[in-house]
């Protein structure tokens, strides 16, 4: 696998990166993955909210482009963990923020 490293710039800030060339087998490793995304929703005259979303990788890009919240952290999560969390909320009678809000 060929790997490149460098510095990119965003609003004159240095952003360090590396990238590599992927083969088809490498790409398969990224499919059907779930991610936990932690965001802060800043509200006027109300307390800030920390929201945690769980979503499959095929919704992640659209969520990040369309969500107005400040993203704090993104991490891959085990599908079994997600199933347990979704099960907790689907059996709850209280309103909960789950999923990514994108159909």
* pLDDT per residue as tens digits for the range 43-69: 999 999 999 999 998 899 999 999 999
Number of domains in the chain: 1
pLDDT band at 99 (very low <50, low <70, confident <90, very high): very low
* Structural domain includes residue 13: yes
Cα angle vertex 81, ends 79, 86, to 5°?
95
* Structural domain includes residue 102: no
How far apart, in whole angstroms, are the C-alpha atoms of residue 62 and residue 7?
25
* Structural domain includes residue 95: no
* Structural domain includes residue 60: yes
* Structural domain includes residue 48: yes
* Structural domain includes residue 15: yes
Cα angle vertex 14, ends 22, 60, to 5°?
45
State the pTM of this model.
Answer: 0.64
* Structural domain includes residue 76: yes
Domain region containing 31: 3-90
């Amino acid at each position: 696998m060929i790997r490149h490293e460098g510095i990119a710039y965003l609003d004159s800030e240095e952003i360090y990166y590396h990238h590599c060339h992927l083969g088809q087998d490498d790409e398969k490793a990224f499919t059907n993955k779930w991610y936990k995304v932690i965001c802060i929703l800043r509200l006027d005259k109300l307390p800030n909210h920390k929201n945690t979303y769980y979503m499959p990788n095929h919704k992640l890009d659209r969520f990040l482009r369309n969500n107005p919240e400040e993203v704090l952290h993104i991490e891959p999560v085990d599908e079994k963990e997600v199933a347990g969390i979704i099960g907790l909320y689907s059996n709850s009678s209280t309103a909960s923020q789950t999923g990514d809000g994108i159909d």
